[in-house]
Homo-oligomer: A and B are copies of this chain.
Amino acid sequence: MNISDAANAAGLPAKTLRYYEDIGLITPGRGANGYRDYSPEDVHRLTFLGRARSLGFSIEDCRALLSLYADEDRSSSDVKQIAQRHLDDISEKMRGLAEMQATLQSLVSACAGDKRPNCPILSSLGQPKTTKD
Chain A residues proximal to chain B, CB less than 8 Å:
44, 48, 51-52, 54-56, 65, 68-69, 71-77, 79-81, 83-84, 86-87, 90-91, 93-94, 97-98, 100-101, 103-105, 107-108, 111-119, 121-122, 124-126, 128
Contacts and interface: CB of A to CB of B under 8 A. Distances in A.
Main secondary structure of the interface of A (DSSP, over half): helix
A126 B68 CA distance: 12
Given A55-B125, A75-B114, 4 more contacts: A65-B125, A69-B125, A77-B115, A87-B105
A114 B77 contact: yes
Contacts of A116: 75-76
Contacts of A119: 68, 74, 76, 79-80
Given A48-B126, A117-B75, A119-B76, A111 B90 contact: no
A80 B54 CA distance: 32
Contact of A55 (B90, B100, B114): B100
A128 B107 CA distance: 42
Given A90-B100, A103-B55, A108-B84, A76 B117 contact: yes
